[in-house]
A and B are shown apart, each in its own frame.
Chain A
Amino acid sequence: MTTTPSAVDPATTTMISLVGSLADNKGALGRRYGEWAVSAPTIESAVAAAAMAQDELGHARSTYPVLAKLGVAREDEGLAAGHPLAVIDHELDDWASFIAANLVVDGILTTFVASARDSSIEPLAQRARKILQEEGAHRVHAEAWLRRICRTGGGDLELLTQRVGEMWAQASRWPGPPDHPGYEAAVAAAMVADGPEVVRERVRVWLAARFEAEGVEVALEDPSDWEGWDEERRR
């Protein structure tokens, strides 16, 4: 359970939401990766999945205390709490979902973290730099599996592009709507360097280029309907 201070400025309110949700999603991603540590297609990938799970759970564990710096009292609920994206809130159905989560969800979260590397919230900046070091290997893993599945083609590729589309539909909403006043205030206060549009666009360009390099086209539409978007859950 978290207790958010009642009177905080819009920038801090947005950062509380972003940091809390970042930790929630990293915790969920860690659990999802961990579930594949015994059933990945190869022993090498199973070990990599276990290592990535350990990284993500560590990132969640180290990110929650940043909330205290933002005035949020949070009881230690472990790593099974919070409100992650629905696509990673349950066991992943197949290896394509694992790679799609690695590409899309991990991609969005890491791109956000990169925008906090020089944050004026010093504890966030410190954690961001450490997280980015470890995320390098996650990105290499995601890109390598994308290449492998694209070159295999057939049903494997069809399933991967389907899963990427499903993950993108939710994860692309995570940064939030363009021109969000709280996010704009957070950028102005140097709490993060980039707004939601920049985060989304970076991931879209990177992801589309990786697929394009393999001769595969993927449609990564910009989310347009923000009605009902929940800032706390970021979905």
Chain B
Amino acid sequence: MSREHETVWEVFARKAYEEPLHHVGTVTEDDEDLALVSARAIYDEQPWIHMILVPRSQIREAILA
């Protein structure tokens, strides 16, 4: 099953509200709901209180050395 055209989501999470969001990994899913389910299942090793997903295509680079 080729997945090269599927959406890659960058996953960010934090364990406390006073902490910044950390990048924890990626999931590859076209369906937004499945991406959320997958991210929660894959990155469940920490007691996160907040997790967000951002489509990689929506990220804008401010600096690129």
Does B associate with A?
A: yes
For B27, give its contact among A44, A50, A147 (CB under 8 Å).
Answer: A44
| Pairwise interchain contact B42-A44, C-beta atoms closer than 8 A | yes
| Pairwise interchain contact B40-A44, C-beta atoms closer than 8 A | no
Which residues from chain A contact B38 at a C-beta distance below 8 Å? 44-45, 47-48
**Within B8-60, which residues are at the interface with A (CB < 8 Å)?**
27-31, 33-38, 40-42, 44
> Within the assembled complex, what's the spacing in Å between the Cα atoms of A48 and B37?
7
A-B contact count (CB 8 A): 46
| Pairwise interchain contact B1-A42, C-beta atoms closer than 8 A | yes
| Pairwise interchain contact B31-A42, C-beta atoms closer than 8 A | no
| Pairwise interchain contact A51-B41, C-beta atoms closer than 8 A | yes
| Pairwise interchain contact A137-B34, C-beta atoms closer than 8 A | no
Knowing A44-B27, A47-B42, A51-B44, the reply to whether A140 touches B37 (Cβ < 8 A) is yes
Which residues from chain B contact A41 at a C-beta distance below 8 Å? 1
CB distance from A143 to the nearest CB of B (A): 7
Chain A, Cβ-Cβ closest to B38: A44
| Pairwise interchain contact A50-B1, C-beta atoms closer than 8 A | no
**New A-B pairs, 13, CB < 8 Å, besides A50-B41, A140-B36, A144-B37:** A42-B3, A42-B29, A44-B28, A44-B29, A44-B35, A45-B34, A48-B34, A48-B41, A137-B37, A141-B34, A141-B37, A143-B33, A148-B31
